Amino acid sequence: MPKVLLKPRHGELPIVVVTGPTASGKSGLAMKLADRFPCRLISVDSSLVYRGMDVGTAKPDCQLLKQYPHELVNIREPDQTYSVGDFVTDATKVIAEARESGQVPVLVGGTLLYLRGLFQGLAELPKADPELRLQIELEAGRLGWAKLHQQLAEIDPQAAVAISVNDQQRIQRALEVYRITGKPISFWRQQSRPKVLDARVLKIILSPPLRETLHRQIAVRSQQMLTAGLIAEVEGLRDKVESSGQQKIDQLPAMRAVGYRQVLEYLRSEIAADNLVERITIATRQLAKRQLTWLRSEPSGIWLDSNSTNLLKRATCLVDEHLDCYG
Instruction: Evaluate whether residue 206 is within a structural domain.
Output: yes
Q: Indicate if 236 and 208 belong to the same structural domain.
A: yes
pLDDT of residue 5: 52
pLDDT of residue 193: 64
Q: What is the pLDDT of residues 263-282, one digit of tens each?
A: 999 999 999 999 999 999 99
Q: Indicate if 203 and 180 belong to the same structural domain.
A: no
What is the rounded CA–CA span in Å between residue 289 and residue 31?
25
Task: For the beta carbon of residue 248, count every other beta carbon within 10 angstroms.
Answer: 11
Contacts of 92 (CB under 8 A, 6+ apart): 118, 196, 197
Domain that holds residue 180: 130-189
Q: Indicate if 213 and 306 belong to the same structural domain.
A: yes
What is the rounded CA–CA span in Å between residue 21 and residue 288?
5
Q: Indicate if 153 and 237 belong to the same structural domain.
A: no
Q: Indicate if 80 and 168 belong to the same structural domain.
A: no
Q: Indicate if 117 and 247 belong to the same structural domain.
A: yes
Q: What is the pLDDT of residues 179-197, one digit of tens each?
A: 998 889 988 877 756 666 7
Instruction: Evaluate whether residue 4 is within a structural domain.
Output: no
Q: Indicate if 95 and 207 belong to the same structural domain.
A: yes
Instruction: Evaluate whether residue 44 is within a structural domain.
Output: yes
SS3 250: helix
- Say which CATH number the domain at 165 has: 1.10.20.140
Give the predicted TM-score (pTM) of the model.
0.82
Q: Indicate if 201 and 263 belong to the same structural domain.
A: yes
Domain count across the chain: 2
Q: Considering only 4-8, 160-164, 223-227, 260-264, which range has the smallest mean pLDDT?
A: 4-8
Q: What is the pLDDT of residues 89-138, one digit of tens each?
A: 999 999 999 988 889 999 999 999 899 889 888 777 778 888 888 889 89
What is the band of 8 on the pLDDT scale with cuts at 50, 70, 90? low
Q: Indicate if 56 and 175 belong to the same structural domain.
A: no
Instruction: Name the average pLDDT for the chain.
Output: 90
Return the half-sphere exposure (C-beta side, CA atoms, 13 A cut-off) of residue 101. 12
C-beta separation of 82 from 257 below 8 A:
no
Last residue of a domain, one of 170, 189, 208: 189
pLDDT of residue 327: 53
Last residue of a domain, one of 164, 189, 214: 189
Q: Indicate if 146 and 221 belong to the same structural domain.
A: no
